[in-house]
Every structure is written in C-alpha cells, then in structure tokens.
Structure 1
Amino acid sequence: MDKNSVTGLVLITIIIGVFMWWSKPTKEQQEAQQRYQDSIQQVELVKQQTAIELKKKKDAENAIPVADSSVADSVIQKQLEGKFGVFANAVSGEQKFFTLENNKVKITLTNHGAKVYSVEIKDFKTHDGKPLILFDGDQNEFGFSFFHNNRILNTNDLYFEAGTNSSSSQDFKLSVGNDQYLAFNYTLPQDSYMLDFSIVHNDIDAVIQSNRGGFDLNWKMDVPAQEKGRKFEITYSGLFFKYDQDEVDDLLGRSGDETFRTPIKWIAYKDHFFSSILIAKENFASGSASVNIYKEEDNSPLISTNTSQLVIPYAGGAHTEKSFQFYFGPNKYKILKKYKDLDLKEIIPLGWGIFGWVNKIIVIPIFNWLEGSIASYGLIILILTLIIKLGLFPLTFKSYMSTAKMKVLKPQIDEINKKIPAEKSMERQKATMALYQKAGVSPLGGCLPMLLQMPILFAMFRFFPNSIELRQESFLWANDLSSYDAIVSWSANIPIISQYYGNHISLFTLLMGITNIIYTRINQEMTQSTNQMPGMKTMMYLMPVMFLVFFNNYASGLSYYYFISTLITILQTVLIRRFVDEEAILAKLNANQKKPKKKSGFQARIEEMARQQQKAQTQQRKKKK
C-alpha cells in the first residue's frame, strides 16, 4: 500500500470523524432536546392517564351483568342484548385452544378472538436453550373493529364457535342467526412457515358496518428477546413494510411510526433472526404503524412492541372472502427468496446498492454451495475467505506492484527535492508528476485496487451479523458465531468502557486487531522510504485499536473472517515480495524514461490551446506598448 493509498484511508477516517464531531449536537441543542423529550413524556403520561380513564369508562359500559339470585336469566340476557345486540352471546365464554402443527412450526389458536395465541419455531432455540416462542398469550392482540348497536366492537374481544380441528386447519365462526356469520379460517400447509388465513362475511352487512369503505384491522405484538447479544438484536430489529408496486421500507433499530396513505402489501414485525409478517392478497388500502424499541438500559424482557392499524377494503356483498397469509419463521435469505413477488427477502439488511448486490450475487450463493457439503461453519467461512482472496489476488498483486514502483523511484524523488527548495512546493509536485509520467507509474495505482475491494469488505460487514445460518453454531472457543466470543467477562459496570467496549473481551476481535497491527507494520516498511504525512504512522496504528473497540460486540463470525482475511493478505504480501525483483522493476522504469513519449490527441490539443493563449497574450502586450 503506497502513500496515496494510506492517505486515502486516513482521509476517509478523518472525514468520518469530523462529520461525527460536526454533527454532534451542541450543549444547548442537547438541553433543548431533553426539554422536548420531557415534554413528550408529559404528553404521553397525560395520554396514558386519559386512556386508562377511557378504558375504565368503557369497561364499565361493557360490563357484563353478574348473575344474581333475584334477577332472572332472561333479564340478564336482555341487558346484554341492549349493549351488544346480536353479539350478546359472544362477549363471554370459555377460552379454548387448538393446535396446528407441521415439521416447521407449532401454532396455537384460541376461540377468544379467533386469533393466533402463540407460535413456536421448532428447529430453533433461544440463546439459553429454551423453546423459541415468537409470542405467547397477551403478547399478541389481533382483530378488526366494526360498528354495531351504536358502539365499536372488536373481534379480539369476542368468543367464536370452533369448528372441527385437525393438525392442518381450524375454522372459527361467529354466528348471528339465519345463516349470517363471520368466520376466520386457518390452514397450515406441510413443510412451510406460512399460515393461510381468511375472513369470510356471509350475509352480515346489515349487522356490522364501517363508515369508510373498509374495516380497521388492529394488530399489536410484543417481541421477546431471543439472543445473547441484546445490543445487536436491538440494532437489527424493527418494523418493515412493502408498498404496493414499490420498494420495501423500514423502521430498523429505532422507535418510530409511519402512516400509509397508499396501499401496502405486507407488514413485518422483525426480530434479529425471526419475523412475524402479515401479507394481504389484495393489499391493505391504507393505515398506520409504530414500533417502540426497548433500549439496553430498560432491562426489558422484550425487544420491541409493534402496533399497526390497517384498513381492509370492503365493498359489501352476500358472501365475501378476504385472503391473507402469516409468515412465522426465520429471516433466512434462501427461504424468503422463494416468495419472489413479495420481496420478503428485503427484511434482511444486506446493505444498500452495490454492497447488497455483492452479497446476493456472490457471497450468499458461494456460502450456500459450501453449506451443502461442509458441516462446520468455521470451515465454511475459511474456505469462503480463501475463494474471495484468490479472486481478489490480481488486485492485491497490482496494488503491491504499484507500491514497489513508488519505492524504487524514491532516490530520484529525493534528488528532485534536493534541487527544488521546499518553498516551491508546486514546482516540486510538477517535477515529481513528470517523473511518474516518464516512468509509466500512476500514483493512484495502489489506491484504485484497494477501492475496488471495498464493496467486498462492506458486504461482509452486513452479511455475517445477519446470517441466521451462523446462529448458535460453534467453532473453536466461540459457541455462537452470530454473537461475540467472550473469553473474559465481568459484571461490573465501568463508565465509558462498558458503554462502548462492553463487559467482555472477544478473542477473535483481539486476533483481528493483532493481525491488523502486523499488516500495518508491513505497509510501513514498504512505504517508509516515501514521503509521509506528519503523524501518519501513529494514525495507521490507531486504526487497529479502533477496530478492537468497534468489533468487540459484533458477531464473532465477522471478526473471524476479518482475522483470516488479513492473515491471508499478509501471507500473500510476503510471497509476492519474495518473487518480485525490485532491481528489475527499477531497470524497466529507467528504460521507460528514456523512451520518447507519444502525446495523446487530447494532450496535444491542450498544449496547442495553451500556445495559442500565450501567443494572444503576447500580441496584446505589444499593442499596449
């Protein structure tokens, strides 16, 4: 890596650092933001208190009369019918559970709300070995609102009649007489994470009404923590949604809300490695959604709470059926890619632009190919790294040769610097560039190959933390390649250190840092005879130290990849150095300087324009005299 390459890296680091420092809010802005947050909290407290009071009032209004020995059953029934109309018999009942099961998932349904009560993903466990439950019980609220008897009812609060149960299907019906009913039908195909769901209205338009051409579907779900590394489980959790005929958008790793003014196809409540996705066959007309991400300091068993209110278009009719699907399963690219028309694979953040394409076109296919014949994911990462490094070897070789050319020309550059004093920096630079041009050396020759390798570097930065294939897969001392590999840990909270570094030491990160320091040393030896910016040597050694802090909490699979990638680069550099004759390079460059340089057409035109301009200036000076 030559001076220009190093300069490029340093400048990128400085730009990022300066931008972060410049964009950091001032003390006044922080105080204003704190006042704003305090005011929001006050408003939220008022809203919560108001909601509690309204709920109490609603509960009082909807209270079911308690049977009394002095009150006849017929009187109680009339009171219920006065409040709930034809749904009086559905406001109370006995909760029953029904199971749909295949080789992938175990889904429990309940007649209370005719909804999914809990979901267990069979092939996976939590980080502490417990069954992986996406949600359970009151963590999932699901139903749609409608008007009846001058009040708003929600199917989530009503008891349905259950039909015949099987391992693959279950029907629930809310009958109001005379073959008038509302039905929820569930079907679980074999070997699938998809649950088919439909809502059937049969001759019930006179009973349930909506004032805007559709019904509000309300879905609220609490997402429990499943992983060891809570920090990055939060980072990759959030809310995803796809607009009809448009791209997928998200609220990832942050709390927020979104209003849908145009139709959307699906909405996903995403955890780091698992998702619950509701898909509409005919789109949701509009709606809104929000996500509340719980921070590390909240010490909550939940990662997030997701809420959505979606409008299901409804034009009425004697018999209508709306079809949906639930996806309850892993965020695995190979699985989600099968649903091509839905773009479900986009919930996996593989990187934007070229970085995402590198993962989709190169990295994932190679990884899946290796996965089919190799059991150890540590070996898969090693072989994947070897394949990538071999593919990039021509660029590595070209970068080394450019650095070697700059190195052997250093004595001639020193001669230029002796002849031209330091105060004439522009003249020095012009003479140096002229030397490079004669010798056929490009100062950017070492930087360009390095830049071409950057998409691979950043693609891997996204690939490993989001690969469920690495989840709970062990290799050497790392018991989970999708999380950090702590060899030393402590419980004490150390200010600043705990916040940025964590309460542990990751060994693969430590090895990665050591190899980066060695590689930096090798580069320093290669460029020590060239001009260096003041303080550049210290800066280059500071970067591996920064990596030690930054990657300590990241997936050990990523640190392992960077470790062996840097190690292979060191070995390549040592081998190239043994077989490259610097004297032969210098002889070739000296021969190039003696050859007459043919000017390009563009360069000739530029020089001709310069001569014409100089001639015109000379004539003007003569006229003035």
Structure 2
Amino acid sequence: MEEKKFDVQSLIGFLLIGGILIWMLYNNSFENEQDPSQEKTTEQVEDIPTTPAAQVEEIPKGQQDSAALAQTQRQLGSFGYSATLPSATNNTTTVSNDLLELKIDNKGGYISEARLTQFKTYDSIPVYLIKDGNASFNLTFTTSDGRILNTNDLFFEPTVTESGENQVISMKLKVSETEFLEYRYVLKPGEYMMDFSIRSQGLSDVINPSNEIKLDWDLKGYRHAKSLSYENQYTELIFEYDDGEDDYLGQGDLKEDEATSVTYVAYKQHFFTSILLTDTPFSRGKFTSRNLVQDEDIDTIYTKAFSTTLPLQLKGGELNYNMNWYYGPTDYKILNDYDRNLDEIVPLGWGIFGWINKFIFIPFFAFLATFLPNYGLAIIVLTIVVRIVLSPVTYKSYLAQAKMKVLRPEINELNEKYKDNPMKKQQETMKLQNKAGASPLSGCLPALMQIPVFYALFQFFPSAFQLRHKGFLWADDLSSYDTIAELPFSIPFYGDHVSLFPILASIAIFVYMMMTTGQTMSQNQQPGMPNMKFIMYLSPIFMLFFFNNYASGLSLYYFTSNLITIGIMLVIKYAIIDEEKIHAKIQENKKKPKKQGKFAKKMQDMMEQAEQQQKNKKK
C-alpha cells in the first residue's frame, strides 16, 4: 500500500505558497550575493457489471398462490418465497429524524433516497446524497442449488418498530417465515450516523459456503456547490485499513486501489459524505473512482462515480455483520466526536500541517465564532492574531535584510576585488558576514518557519464546513467564490466570472514584494539565479487565476494577511529599524573576536581546500 500522498490541490497550494515566499529567501541570498431532479447529463456513466443473476418478475396481486410460488421457485429456488409475499412490490418505507429523511425500497432493501433536512444546495435545492437511482447496495451470492442471485433483484419485507426513541427498520429477504436475510437499520434522534447490520437466519443450507459473497456499493456524487470544478477537487474516496491506516484515491479520470482489513469506506462530496463502517473488518476491498466531469457546460449533475467491492464471510453458515451508515456533513467536529478516525476524511493536511489545524486553528476559529457576529470577521481576527504571533519572525527576517543592506557596499568592494576568483570572493564574503553577525541564513530560516502556518491555513479554509453559505460583504458564500461580474465568455484557467477578493489579495502581494525587493531586484540580479522580477509579477497573477474559483474565505485570509504584513513592515522599517544603529553595531561586532561555528568553520576549510586545489592545477 502506498504512503499517503499529496493530492492535486495540496501540491498546487504548496507550490503557490513556496512561490510567494521564495522571494524572501532569494532577497537574503542575493544581498549576500444544477437541480438533480430536473437536469440530465448528455454522457452516460457505465455501470460496473455484476455477476449475471436470475431476474425477478413481480407477481400480480391475486396470483400469489401455489402456482405462483412454483413459478418463482423455478426462477429463484428457495428465495422464490419472497416474491409471493405482499411486500413484493416497488414500495418504499420512509423514516426520519430532525436531520435525515430516508426512503428504503422493498426491492433490494437499500436506501433509495437520503435527504439532509438542514441544508440546501447552492441553488436552494434540498441536499440529497441518494436520489433517482444514483446509488446501489447489492449482495451477490450463490445458492446451494447453483443459482447466482443479487439482492438488488429481490424483494424484502419491511417492518418498522421503535426501541425507545430509536426507529428500527427491519428489511427481511425471506425463504420462509423463520428463514431470512435481514438488513436492520436503527435511526437515532439527532444523529447522522445510524446502526446497520446484515445477518441471516436459517440459511446455512440455502447459501453455498464455497462461493464468496460479494458486497458492491456504488454511488454517483451529486453536485451541491456553485463551482463544479472546485467541488470536484475535494470529492474523493477515502478508506481505512490495517488497524487505523487511511488512504484515498485522489484525483484523475479513473483511479483504482485495493486494501486489506478494511474498516470503513467514505464517499466524500466535499462538504457532504456517505460512509460505510464495520465493527468486523472486511478481509479486503477494491475501490474505484471515476471522474464524471469532462465538460463543465455539459456534465452538470454529477462529480464522480465511486464503487467498492468487499467480500463477506460466513460464520457457521450464516452472515453476521454489525455496521454503521453515515450520511451527513463533512464537518470535522461531528466526525471527530465519533472517535472512529473519521476526522481523517477532512483534508486538513499531512503531518505537522494537520496537527496545526486540529489543535490550533480549528479550536481557535470555533472560539471566535462563539462571540463574533460574522464568520468573515472571524477570519479577519484569526488572520490578525496569526500575523501578530508571527511578527517576531517577520522582524528577524527584516532585520537580517537590513544588515545585509548595510553590508552591501563592503560586499561590492569584495566582488570587485576578487571578481576573477569566485572561490576567494565567496570565502571573504563569508568572513565579513561572520564578523558582522549578518548571516543570510538568519533571514532565510524565519521565512521557512512561516510555511507550515501558511500551508495549514491553505488547507483549513476550504475544509471549514461552518463557512458554507455564510456571507460577508459582497461574498454570499465564504466557502465558494465571490462574484462581482459575470463574463459573457469563459477564460481558460480563470472562469466566466470575476472575483474581487483574489484581485485584492494579488494586489496586496504585489505591493508587499515591491516594498521589500522591487527597488533592488533588477540591479542585484545575479547570473544563474532565478529571475526574481519575473517571479514577483508571476506570483500575484498566478494567485489571481488560481483563487478565482476557490473559497472566498481563503482569498479573504490572504488579502488580510498581506495587508497586515505590509503594515507590520512599515512599522518595522520606519519606527523600529535604525540603519545607522545597525551599521554602528556591525562595525562594533567586526572589532570583537568572534568564535566561528563548526558549520562555518567546515565551510571555510572546504573553500580553502578548493582554492588550494585550483592553485595547484595552475602550477
């Protein structure tokens, strides 16, 4: 099994953040030197084929007698009994609590409709995870007389009872009144998670134990968000295996994977998720994800098609699996409270980035939301606090830049003096920096320290369920893009609309770069180094295009962050940093004997050896 890897948006985000920060590193180094019920897609999605099985013919009322039983038994063997019962019709059983409304079909015994009652789509349509045949749940098994049957073709008998405040729905596929295969659903009040079990009674002589029972669960994810492409980036299949390990299929037209000891499978549709969990791990699982969006103007209903195949094991000739279904929001708090590793479904970043989100940003943002009247204000306050906390790092980085600026005349003299001896020039420059206490690394390291925070927030805002359908200023939904103008055409990689927050963020980044490096960038451009002037212009443009379809909450954060950083830099430059004092301090440091560090000493020795080798070659 492969290690958990970057997905596309994470990699792009990481590169973007790196592009924005690379100028900081270079600056120091060069100083040295639609509605689903109404719309239809034009492309048909191929169904994953199942094993050919006997087809069930519905028995008309009045003909459910011994002759009918004989007819269905010829088709279905012992399970012909189920087709003669009054329940052998395409009726549904409806149950609901304050969060979910479910419809379960007699035919197949599975949920034919799952609606989240508390939420609407971007165009004010109720949120359905299952509707109009977009999902199926099927067991394929072989009977003792050699018939291959699919539960999707067979009729279950429903019974609804109550156990305290819980609603219990029993769906029985009967061989007789005392012999059956049962799906048992338990819907609890105030819960998105329900108990689900598959068990059999008296079927040890009916089901052939030598042939594997196969469970197939398929679902095509409905579109729920305004930006289809953005929602699709966060729509993926996640699974847990091997005692708590988790992985995902990622993006692509067709992705497949396999795992052993599977404990849950989740079909995440960005902000809403369908999950099948089991107490008894499945011995193995096969997973498939197929992208259904090839043309956003045509493929407007679905995002991806997911498929999972799992084997079921008989124990004593019977089935007995205790499981759960979850149909609900991809909300970190809700999923984490179940204490079943479901928080991994929320893409908060790997390693340290995820830890920063889980233990710092999520709790703090939730705290801000308890007393601030608007989530937009919560984003601004969060950004202010982050920038204040990081201000010492910003100060150290700027101080390093100021020291290198003061040393620039002396470094230029060394460059001119040793222009024909690059090795000696580098060696003397390092000596000067060491004496002055102005190592370029002192400016690079603070910039690198900020990357985990920036990347963690890049993951946090697109995954923050609480931002969904929450407006701020001109943005009506902080979890989606804001729109100030609709374009009569679509620009590649940009879209058919204009978002203002990305524009403001791009301008702020450009101003910040001009303040810190723009004035000296051209004259200090060194051969062999990246064209930083090009990067300075490219980064804001890239952000403008990349974030035009992203969550406006994320763009609001970047705009606010860079605006605050500009303010902090102005305060540092004009109220804190005094270049004359820095120059005097450097001259004082140069007079003092300074102990050379091991690393610097090793680097100097290596340069001296290389210089000596060059001299020997010339002799």
Common topology (TM > 0.5): yes
Greater percentage in helix: 1
Q: Which residue of 1 aligns with 2:6?
A: none
User: Residues 521-600 of structure 1 correspond to what in structure 2 (within 5 A)?
Assistant: 521-524=514-517, 527=520, 531-533=524-526, 535-579=531-575, 580-599=577-596
Q: CA deviation at 1:374?
A: 2.2
Q: Which residue of 2 aligns with 1:191?
A: 190
| Contact 1:183–1:201 (Cα < 8 Å) also in 2 | yes
The structure 1 residue matched to 2:450, chosen from 448, 453, 474, is 453
Q: CA deviation at 1:120?
A: 1.0
| Contact 1:184–1:198 (Cα < 8 Å) also in 2 | yes
> Which fold has the larger relative contact order, with Cα–Cα distance below 8 Å and residues 6 or more apart in sequence?
2
Q: Which residue of 2 aligns with 1:140?
A: 135
Tell me which amino acid in the other structure corresponds to 1:314: L
Q: Which residue of 2 aligns with 1:19?
A: none
- CA distance in structure 1 between the partners assigned to 2:218 and 2:335 by the alignment: 23
Taking a change above 3 Å as real, the CA distance of residues 423 and 606 of structure 1, as seen in their structure-2 partners, is closer
Identical positions, percent: 37
The structure 1 residue matched to 2:384, chosen from 373, 386, 393, is 386
Q: CA deviation at 1:613?
A: 13
- CA distance in structure 2 between the partners assigned to 1:377 and 1:151 by the alignment: 59
- CA distance in structure 1 between the partners assigned to 2:126 and 2:48 by the alignment: 38
Gaps (5+ residues) in structure 1?
13-44, 621-625
Q: CA deviation at 1:559?
A: 0.8
User: Residues 144-223 of structure 1 correspond to what in structure 2 (within 5 A)?
Assistant: 144-148=139-143, 149-165=145-161, 168-177=167-176, 179-212=178-211, 215-223=213-221
Q: Which residue of 1 aligns with 2:266?
A: 268
Q: Which residue of 1 aligns with 2:91?
A: 96
Per-residue CA distance 1:29-84 (angstroms, 9 max, x = gap): xxxxxxxxxxxxxxxx9x979969x97xx6xx636398899x99654442221121
Query: Secondary structure at the residue paired with 1:543?
Result: helix
User: Residues 478-517 of structure 1 correspond to what in structure 2 (within 5 A)?
Assistant: 478-493=475-490, 498-517=491-510
TM-score (norm 1): 0.83
- CA distance in structure 2 between the partners assigned to 1:588 and 1:461 by the alignment: 39
Q: CA deviation at 1:299?
A: 1.4
Taking a change above 3 Å as real, the CA distance of residues 601 and 105 of structure 1, as seen in their structure-2 partners, is closer
Q: CA deviation at 1:275?
A: 0.8
| Contact 1:10–1:540 (Cα < 8 Å) also in 2 | no
| Contact 2:121–2:225 (Cα < 8 Å) also in 1 | yes
| Contact 2:252–2:290 (Cα < 8 Å) also in 1 | yes
Taking a change above 3 Å as real, the CA distance of residues 259 and 399 of structure 1, as seen in their structure-2 partners, is closer
Query: Secondary structure at the residue paired with 1:113?
Result: coil
Q: Which residue of 2 aligns with 1:6?
A: 23
- CA distance in structure 2 between the partners assigned to 1:576 and 1:610 by the alignment: 36
User: Residues 238-253 of structure 1 correspond to what in structure 2 (within 5 A)?
Assistant: 238-253=236-251
Q: CA deviation at 1:321?
A: 3.2
- CA distance in structure 2 between the partners assigned to 1:352 and 1:444 by the alignment: 27
Query: Secondary structure at the residue paired with 2:441?
Result: coil
User: Residues 279-318 of structure 1 correspond to what in structure 2 (within 5 A)?
Assistant: 279-297=277-295, 299-317=299-317
Query: Secondary structure at the residue paired with 1:461?
Result: helix
Per-residue CA distance 1:1-24 (angstroms, 9 max, x = gap): xxx963746999xxxxxxxxxxxx
| Contact 2:80–2:175 (Cα < 8 Å) also in 1 | no
User: Residues 15-414 of structure 1 correspond to what in structure 2 (within 5 A)?
Assistant: 62=55, 64=57, 74-91=66-83, 93-148=88-143, 149-165=145-161, 168-177=167-176, 179-212=178-211, 215-260=213-258, 262-297=260-295, 299-317=299-317, 321-340=320-339, 342-414=340-412
Tell me which amino acid in the other structure corresponds to 1:128: D
- CA distance in structure 2 between the partners assigned to 1:128 and 1:177 by the alignment: 48
Per-residue CA distance 1:271-305 (angstroms, 9 max, x = gap): 01111100111111223221211125051411122
Taking a change above 3 Å as real, the CA distance of residues 376 and 78 of structure 1, as seen in their structure-2 partners, is same
Q: Which residue of 2 aligns with 1:26?
A: none
| Contact 2:249–2:257 (Cα < 8 Å) also in 1 | no
- CA distance in structure 2 between the partners assigned to 1:510 and 1:610 by the alignment: 47
Per-residue CA distance 1:75-117 (angstroms, 9 max, x = gap): 4442221121222243472222222222221222222222112
- CA distance in structure 2 between the partners assigned to 1:325 and 1:68 by the alignment: 36
Query: Secondary structure at the residue paired with 1:500?
Result: coil
Query: Bigger CA drift: 323-332 or 237-246?
Result: 237-246
Gaps (5+ residues) in structure 2?
1-20, 30-43
Q: Which residue of 2 aligns with 1:28?
A: none
| Contact 2:293–2:302 (Cα < 8 Å) also in 1 | no
Taking a change above 3 Å as real, the CA distance of residues 451 and 599 of structure 1, as seen in their structure-2 partners, is closer
Q: CA deviation at 1:475?
A: 0.5
| Contact 2:77–2:147 (Cα < 8 Å) also in 1 | no
Per-residue CA distance 1:532-558 (angstroms, 9 max, x = gap): 336433432232122212221111111
- CA distance in structure 2 between the partners assigned to 1:378 and 1:609 by the alignment: 54
Tell me which amino acid in the other structure corresponds to 1:122: T
- CA distance in structure 1 between the partners assigned to 2:595 and 2:352 by the alignment: 38
Per-residue CA distance 1:406-440 (angstroms, 9 max, x = gap): 1112222233334x153333332222222111111
Tell me which amino acid in the other structure corresponds to 2:278: A
Per-residue CA distance 1:552-606 (angstroms, 9 max, x = gap): 1111111110000000000000011122211111001011111123355787899
Q: CA deviation at 1:326?
A: 0.3
Query: Secondary structure at the residue paired with 1:430?
Result: helix
Query: Secondary structure at the residue paired with 2:155?
Result: coil
- CA distance in structure 1 between the partners assigned to 2:325 and 2:314 by the alignment: 20
- CA distance in structure 2 between the partners assigned to 1:6 and 1:50 by the alignment: 50
Q: CA deviation at 1:210?
A: 3.6
- CA distance in structure 1 between the partners assigned to 2:77 and 2:611 by the alignment: 97
Per-residue CA distance 1:126-146 (angstroms, 9 max, x = gap): 000111111114222113122
- CA distance in structure 2 between the partners assigned to 1:558 and 1:64 by the alignment: 55
Per-residue CA distance 1:478-513 (angstroms, 9 max, x = gap): 1111111121122424xxxx2211111110000011
- CA distance in structure 2 between the partners assigned to 1:245 and 1:282 by the alignment: 11
Q: Name the Cα RMSD after superposition.
A: 3.6
Query: Bigger CA drift: 147-156 or 528-537?
Result: 528-537
- CA distance in structure 2 between the partners assigned to 1:216 and 1:371 by the alignment: 46
Tell me which amino acid in the other structure corresponds to 2:493: Y
| Contact 1:67–1:76 (Cα < 8 Å) also in 2 | no
Larger radius of gyration: 1
Tell me which amino acid in the other structure corresponds to 2:71: Q
Query: Bigger CA drift: 114-123 or 521-530?
Result: 521-530
Taking a change above 3 Å as real, the CA distance of residues 529 and 486 of structure 1, as seen in their structure-2 partners, is closer
Taking a change above 3 Å as real, the CA distance of residues 67 and 477 of structure 1, as seen in their structure-2 partners, is closer
Taking a change above 3 Å as real, the CA distance of residues 65 and 542 of structure 1, as seen in their structure-2 partners, is closer
- CA distance in structure 1 between the partners assigned to 2:60 and 2:331 by the alignment: 53
| Contact 1:255–1:290 (Cα < 8 Å) also in 2 | no
- CA distance in structure 2 between the partners assigned to 1:323 and 1:359 by the alignment: 33
User: Residues 433-448 of structure 1 correspond to what in structure 2 (within 5 A)?
Assistant: 433-448=430-445
Query: How many residues matched?
Result: 571
Taking a change above 3 Å as real, the CA distance of residues 394 and 72 of structure 1, as seen in their structure-2 partners, is closer
- CA distance in structure 2 between the partners assigned to 1:49 and 1:377 by the alignment: 42
